[in-house]
Chains A and B, each alone.
Chain A
Amino acid sequence: DIQMTQSPSSVSASVGDRVTITCRASQAISYWVAWYQQRPGKAPKLLMYSASRLQSGVPSRFSGSGSGTDFSLTISSLQPEDFATYYCQQVNSFPYTFGQGTKLEIK
């Protein structure tokens, strides 16, 4: 199985900050990575797919990059609604696997 290792596991930041979350795959997966945001008590929401494609309706302050084994999600200017938990996911091969999550907290 492909392991997805996210870092950091948690991060504190302020409104307006730029934040980057990284995800490393245990083997090369081309660009087959998705990123999700999950607010407490809610279902996850798709932010990015194919590593760098912004899902419809997602603000442009979110961006993704990477290919092969190393991927990142960047939020260019944090807004209050962005404080949540973020997950990467590989969709290169079954079983699909998620990273362990990154909790983004208000400083």
Chain B
Amino acid sequence: QVQLVESGGGLVKPGGSLRLSCAASGFTFSDYYMTWIRQAPGKGLEWVSYISRDGSTIYYADSVRGRFTISRDNAETSLYLQMNSLRAEDTAVYYCARVLGGTTPNGAFDIWGQGTMVTVSA
């Protein structure tokens, strides 16, 4: 079935780095735009980053621009988020999601992973 599975979360010290992965299955990964969203403990949803099907178009939230890098490997059907210079305020569950619409993206996020927790603390 259509599935996204995140991995790579954990505890990291402020200033440290972490790389999240999102393994896709059950659909043609290369046909879809993809995105990362996060949710701090007890808080609402915050969109983080977005990547086009071939990786040529990328957007970031202001809060992560210059520190986070989104990428994808269509051959490996995987999405990544490289997170550098981590801060306490980056502590959150990180979700990867598929953008509805395939080759004509709608913008809404129709398939979500289960999330991976990132904790930034000394």
Residues of A within 8 A of B (CB): 1, 32, 34, 36, 38, 43-46, 49-50, 55, 87, 89, 91-92, 94-101
Contact = CB atoms under 8 A, between A and B. Distances in A.
Contacts of A95: 47, 59, 61-62
B76 interface: no
B26 interface: no
> For chain B, which range describes its interface: under 10, 10 to 19, 20 to 34, or 35 or more residues?
20 to 34
A44 B107 contact: no
B30 to A, nearest CB: 21
Contacts of A87: 44-45
B50 interface: yes
Interface string B36-64: 01000000111100100000000101100
A97 B100 contact: no
A49 B108 contact: yes
Given A43-B112, A95-B59, A49 B106 contact: yes
B9 to A, nearest CB: 14
Contact of B108 (A1, A46, A94, A99): A46
9 contacts: A36-B45, A43-B95, A44-B95, A44-B112, A45-B112, A50-B106, A89-B45, A89-B47, A98-B46
Interface string B56-92: 0001011000000000000000000000000000000
